Structure 1
Amino acid sequence: MRLQDLYNRSEQVYCSIHHDPVDRWLYAAWEGFVPTDDAERGAEAYLSSLRHFPSPCLLNDNSRQSGPWFDSTAWLEHIWAPTATQLGLRYVAHVTPPYLLAATADVAARRPFGEQFELQIFDDLDQARHWLRSQQLTLR
């Protein structure tokens, strides 16, 4: 179920947030070039969705995003992650385009979110879904 679309200055959707009623998680799909201010606005929209559709799992799909998202890491770590954790987030499957897999994995290896939640990096959406489903089993 589509919850929200976010539009950039060119009036194109750069982030869509969905609630998956079957898997019971939120899914954020990003596309195109996303500047830092739009990335933060999308992350805030996710928090709003999490308040209405609580879930310990997020499938964050950047596979159609162009350009790195690393400029937002400090904001995500210090502002967004504590709030997401308070709202119950425990597992994040982050899907990156294959050409950014190594750089994204390097950022994740520094553990910018510490123990706030578990983050796994993927370049395959089906593998990310499989991992999130396996994490849900540990919650039951």
Structure 2
Amino acid sequence: MRLQDLYNQDEQVYCSIQFDPANRWLQANWAGFVPTRDAERGAEAYLSSLRHFPSPCLLNDNSQLSGPWFSSTAWLEHIWAPVAAERGLRYVAHVTPPHLLASTADVAARRPFGEQFELQIFDDLTMARQWLRSQSQAER
């Protein structure tokens, strides 16, 4: 179920937030080049969706990005993550384009979100879904 689409200055969808009722998780699909301010808007849209569709799981699909996934992990760590965790987020499956896997994994290895929630990095959407499904089942 599509909840919200966000458009860039060229009127192209760069972030689509959906609720997957079968798996009971939220999914954020990102595409193209996403400047920091647009990335923050998308992350804030996710928080709004989480309020209305509570779920401990997020499938964050960045496989269609053409640039870095986010330039400000400090903003994510200190502003976004505490609110997401407070609203019940426990597991994030982050799918990255294969060419960004190493740099994204380096960010994740620093554990910027501490114990707020578990973040796993994937370059394969099917594997990300499988992992998230196993976490979701463990929550039940």
Residue-by-residue CA offset, 1:73-129 (whole Å, 9 max, x unaligned): 110000000000000000000000000001100000000000000000000000000
SS in 2 for 1:30: strand
In the alignment of these two chains, the number of paired residues is: 140
Report 1:44-123 matches (<5 A).
Answer: 44-123=44-123
Any unmatched runs of 5+ in structure 1?
none
Any unmatched runs of 5+ in structure 2?
none
Normalising by structure 1, we get a TM-score of 0.99
**What's the counterpart of residue 10 of structure 2?**
10
Alpha-carbon shift at residue 134 of structure 1 (Å): 0.5
Normalising by structure 2, we get a TM-score of 0.99
**What's the counterpart of residue 43 of structure 2?**
43
Alpha-carbon shift at residue 69 of structure 1 (Å): 2.3
Answer whether contact 1:39 1:72 (CA < 8 A) is retained: no
List structure 1 runs of 4+ shifted beyond 3 angstroms.
none
| CA–CA distance in structure 1, aligned partners of residues 104 and 11 of structure 2 | 28
Alpha-carbon shift at residue 70 of structure 1 (Å): 3.6
Residue-by-residue CA offset, 1:13-42 (whole Å, 9 max, x unaligned): 000000000000000000000000000000
